[in-house]
Amino acid sequence: MAVGQVVILSTRSLFIEGVANRLKQHLPEENVKVVDARQADALEQVLAAQPTSIILDATDAEATKNCPLSEMLKALPLLKIVWLDPQKDTIQVVVSERRTVEQVSDLIEVIQSAETGRSEGPSKNNFPTSDPKGLRDP
């Protein structure tokens, strides 16, 4: 299965490099890009990479300061956002899609499909409760 571009966005260089190094063990190196969220041009770097997925440190409140999610979603409507929380050993995945909505019934259909398509976490995904993606060092 082909993997698109993955961007890791954080203000914490140890987090960025640690996750990037682990991903590069499983993905082609050219598919993994790191962006320091402290840089003024962080948004431009992310958009230039045209990622299919972006990994954010859920414990890093500054990660989206120079790279607002609204701007990323506007430019990359199919972006998958992965909130990685290293303190809780969890990830939250937000999948984006863009639809045309002409009537309230279209909006209601989207809301109802979102309600029935929810995942309840690791048990439904068959992930172990610790280190679900093998991102920690052995």
Confidence of residue 117 (pLDDT cuts 50, 70, 90): low
Closest to 57 measured CA to CA, from 30, 28, 19, 95: 19
Question: What is the torsion angle, in degrees rounded to the nearest 10, for the CA atoms of residue 92, residue 135, residue 72 and residue 75?
Answer: -110
pLDDT exceeds cutoff 60 at 80: yes
124-to-40, 51, 95, 118, 128 alpha-carbon distances in Å? 39, 27, 17, 10, 10
pTM of the model: 0.75
pLDDT value for 130: 43
Return the higher-pLDDT residue of 130 and 37. 37
